[in-house]
Amino acid sequence: MRLYNSKIDCVDEAIQYLGKEIVLGCPLGAGKPNHLINEFYKRAKKDSSINLTILTALSLNKPTGPSDLEKRFFGPFSERVLGNYPDLDFEKDRESNKIPPNIKVIEFYYPAGKKAKNSYAQRNYLSSNFTHVPRDVLDRGINLVVQQVAKREKNGNIEYSLSCNADTSLDILDLLKKSGRKWLSIAQVNEDLPFMLGDALIQEDTFHNIIDDPQDYFQIFAPPKLPVTETDYMIGLYASTLIKDDGELQVGIGSLGDALIYNLGLRNTNNELYLQLLEELEIEKKFSSLIDQIGDRGIFKKGLFCATEMMVDGIMDLYKKNILKKKVYDHIGLQRLINQGLFDKEIPTNILEILVRKEIIQNPLSEKDFKFLKKFGLIKSDIRFEKGNFILKNHNEYKADINNESFYDNMNLFIGDELKSGQIVHGGFFLGPRSFYDWLKTLSEQELELFNMKSISKINQLYGHEEIDRLHRKNARFVNTCLKVSLNGQFAADGLEDGTVVSGVGGQYNFVSMAHALPDGRSILICKSSHGETSNIVWNYGHCTIPRHLRDIVITEYGIACLRGKTDEEVIKELLKITDSRHQNDLMEKAKKHGKLDQSYSLPKEFTQNFPHVISSKLASYKSNGLFPLFPFGTDFTAEELKIAKGLKKIKALKTKKAKFLGLVLKSLIYGKNPNGMFNPLLARMGHDKGKLNFSQRLQRNLLLNVME
């Protein structure tokens, strides 16, 4: 390992070593060393003889927006929340279609919808399961790996951590070591990163070079929280009934994930109210048998374990509400005993006999057995092992043999108080609001050990470590979102039928497949039943992320459809029950026309009132009492910014209705409503109260004023 204090020198030597064919791989999201990547990009822009390929995902820049209004809105917000976060130069150029011909940017996952109209990004999208990314970038000739790392000093030694991105780097580095090609790895220190443990804790020589320049430390990217709507909350409430105590959970980022986590919190902290909700919203009436079969309604006594590619900030809430507390242990024999209920936190006094009988340790005990017992707290921490003997703190010695009478009679002197080295989270990467990062930094060493950041190959699949994963992932529930559901039970989540890539497959296929591989696992795909006037449940769709043979559970704001093991006709009936009633008849007629539904079939009456206004009326009294808030876990937006954002959203929606938008523009050419100056604080926030505005700026200001409430 070589330490640098300047990225300039490091890049100079990297190009000299690798030559002018550079295939650079960097983590998705917050783990990118932006300054270092920008330096390589700058060199390639300046020297066209350098062929640079950048392989990555989730390339995040500060939000701006195309219009003057959006720039005025996002500018101050970005400065306040993202601080000195440096934009990625290649991302700026890609947005303006200025990537030079000697440079190529290839990504396998985009922020949802952000690249839908970017031709360069659409052409250079790499469709790859998350677990296959290391293999695929190796095939594309990767020879340079760069990543941000965290640093700390402990007991006089410097330690490094992969922090927010243990997901692909560990696997890629391992493949490169075996490849026989010339390659280089560079880490850049950023002290703003939370220092994570588990597999993220790396040796000093994991990377060839480490750059540590305090001038390049920056605030890691912190996306703002999205509002949680009534639709989100209903979907989350339904999903919360299927999460079993003593189970495992995987959930993604976004408002739907937040809604599930909020409802799990409600279930655990106010179970009486939660059960009341299930009754009054007719969830029990319609779905009680399914909930009885695969779900749960009670508080979390044993709690949940989480194994997820993305460690979302909702993890923080689950931990604080004493839901995320089920510990798992990286030892097959020990975990099997726990799953069998032979012991839990309290260690039985005959544990050594049990372990010998189960052939987990041998008798007499070896030094290897002693280290195992010590690691997991099965014996007291102050016991030593020498020459086949247990030596107590008071120097008394006992032959480590349960057949030895003295050892057996004094067993209570050896046994530990509670299990150690348990983990409640296995995560691949994390990304979230600033409050999440700050919380991770406040965790004690003991608490940090509960969160194990692992490579994606150990999270998103069972292969290679199947036995221990099957023991860990008891009652697994994999909750993911999708865009469209076809009546035959296939799902579109990453793209549209015209070929447009919306985001990427990520780990969705992996988790759905895993759910079917686990005997008590279930895949739960959540989907808003409609988008405006358009149904998201359709007869068929020209794009598929999850095929019909992997169909399982689907949830919309109108209910739960269990599709696993059902015939085509039964699947259609189940999906119609959770479809927006504005579209049920049309879909039902199409199914009958194509011979997939009996001509005499009609929907049960209790499923014919699936309308948005019905949901609103049912939730109104609960919302008035403080339940189901717009931002259940807080927001970085100010009160003024929330009002402005609502206005900007209205303008955007009106642009799809030409006549109404034209009327708004004509009105705004003349004036902007501001009765008694009530919107002056909003004008100040947008900078419309200072200086002379030109014609376009005045029009933009008036557009906003005229949609404000």
CA–CA gap between residue 485 and residue 183 (Å, rounded): 44
Burial of 339 (0-12, 13-18, 19+ CB in 10 A): middle
Q: Which residues contact 601 (CB under 8 A, 6 or more apart)?
A: 573, 588, 592
Q: Where are the alpha helices (DSSP H) in 56-183?
A: 68-81, 89-95, 119-123, 133-139, 169-179
Residue 187 scores a pLDDT above 90 = yes
- The domain segmentation of the chain, as residue ranges, is 2-216, 230-327+424-607, 332-413, 639-705
CA angle in degrees (0–180, nearest 5) for 204-209-214: 90
3-state helix, strand, coil in the chain (%, to 5): 40, 15, 40
Query: Is the CA virtual torsion 568, 570, 573, 577 positive or negative?
Result: negative
Confidence of residue 136 (pLDDT cuts 50, 70, 90): very high
**Is residue 341 left, alpha or beta, with left meaning phi > 0 and alpha meaning psi from -120 to 50?**
left
Which region holds residue 676: left if phi is over 0, alpha if psi is between -120 and 50, else beta?
A: left
Looking at CATH, the fold of the domain delimited by 230-327+424-607 is given as Glutaconate Coenzyme A-transferase (3.40.1080)
From CA 186, how far away is CA 39, in angstroms rounded?
Answer: 13
Nearest to residue 7, comparing CAs of 216, 204, 183? 216
Q: Which two tokens stand for residue 19?
A: 């030559």
Mean pLDDT of the region 240-246: 98
Statement: residue 344 has pLDDT above 90: no
Same fold, 2-216 and 230-327+424-607: yes
Which pLDDT score is estimated for 656?
85
Question: Prior bond to 364 cis, omega within 30?
Answer: yes
| Cβ count near 57 (within 10 Å) | 25
Q: Which of 608, 493, 525, 528 is nearest to 233 (CA)?
A: 528
pLDDT tens-digit readout, 141-174:
999 999 999 999 999 999 999 999 999 999 999 9
Q: Report whether pLDDT(441) > 80.
A: yes
Q: How far apart are CA 544 and CA 47, in angstroms?
A: 42
User: What's the average model confidence in pLDDT over 504-529?
Assistant: 97
Q: Who's near 654: CB < 8 A, 6+ residues apart?
A: 660, 661, 664, 707
Asked if residue 588 has pLDDT above 90, the reply is: yes
Over range 79-87, report the average pLDDT.
95
- CA-to-CA separations, 357 to 351, 353, 354, 661, in angstroms, rounded: 10, 6, 5, 77
For strand 425-430 and strand 304-311, is the pairing parallel, antiparallel, or unpaired? parallel
CB atoms within 10 A of CB 656: 9
Mean pLDDT over all residues of the chain?
95
- Residue 13: its H or E element: helix 7-18
What average pLDDT does range 485-502 have in this prediction?
97
What confidence category does residue 246 fall into, taking pLDDT thresholds of 50, 70 and 90? very high
**Helix, coil or strand: residue 219:** coil
Neighbours of 613 (CB within 10 A): 8
Q: Using CA atoms, how far apart are residues 476 and 194, in angstroms rounded to an integer?
A: 28
**Residue 264 pLDDT more than 80?**
yes
Classify burial at 462, counting beta carbons within 10 Å of its beta carbon; exposed 0-12, middle 13-18, buried 19 or more: middle
Comparing CA positions, the residue from 74, 77, 88 lying closest to residue 29 is 88
Q: Which residues pair with 426 in a beta bridge?
A: 307, 452
Predicted pLDDT of residue 216: 96
To 5 degrees, how large is the angle CA 38–CA 39–CA 43? 115
Give me the mean pLDDT over the 207-225 stretch. Answer: 95
- Which one, of 41, 206, 56, lies nearest residue 142 by Cα? 56
Does 345 have pLDDT greater than 80?
Answer: no
Residues with Cβ within 8 Å of residue 555, at least 6 apart in sequence: 235, 238, 239, 524, 525, 526, 527, 561, 578
Q: Across residues 681-702, what is the average pLDDT?
A: 89
pLDDT at 252: 87
What is the tens place of the pLDDT at every residue in 569-578?
999 999 999 9
Identify the CATH number of the domain defined by range 2-216. Answer: 3.40.1080.10
Q: What number is the average pLDDT over the span 551-564?
A: 98
DSSP states of 414-474 as a string?
Answer: TB-SB--S-BSEEEEEE---HHHHHHHHH--HHHHTTEEE--HHHHS--TTSHHHHHHHTT
Share of the chain above pLDDT 90, in %: 91
Task: Dump pLDDT digits (tens) for 2-57.
Answer: 999 999 999 999 999 999 999 999 999 999 999 999 999 999 999 999 999 999 99
Angle (nearest 5°) at CA 222 between 679 and 426: 140
Strand partners for 151: 160
> What is the tens place of the pLDDT at every residue in 653-666?
888 888 888 999 89
The DSSP symbol for 165 reads B
172 and 145 in contact (C-beta within 8 Å)?
Answer: yes
Per-residue pLDDT at 652 exceeds 90: no
Identify the band that residue 221 occupies on the pLDDT scale cut at 50, 70 and 90. very high
Confidence band of 204 (pLDDT split at 50, 70, 90): confident
- Model pLDDT, residue 436: 96
DSSP 599-667: TT----GGGS---HHHHHHHHHHHHHTT-S-SSTT--SS-HHHHHHHHHHHHHHHHTTSHHHHHHHHHH
Distance from C-alpha of 139 to C-alpha of 162, rounded to nearest angstrom? 24
DSSP states along 555-604: EETTEEEE-TT--HHHHHHHHHHTS-HHHHHHHHHHHHHTTSS-TT----
What pLDDT was estimated at residue 544? 97
**Reported pTM:** 0.94
C-alpha to C-alpha distance for 187 and 208, rounded to whole angstroms: 8
**E strands present in 27-99:** 51-56
Beta strand segments in 288-382, E: 304-311
User: Of 72, 79, 33, whose CA–CA distance to 54 is shortest?
Assistant: 33
Q: What is the pLDDT of residue 293?
A: 96
Residue 65 pLDDT grade (very low, low, confident, very high; cuts 50, 70, 90) = confident
Q: Are 228 and 258 in contact (CB under 8 A)?
A: yes
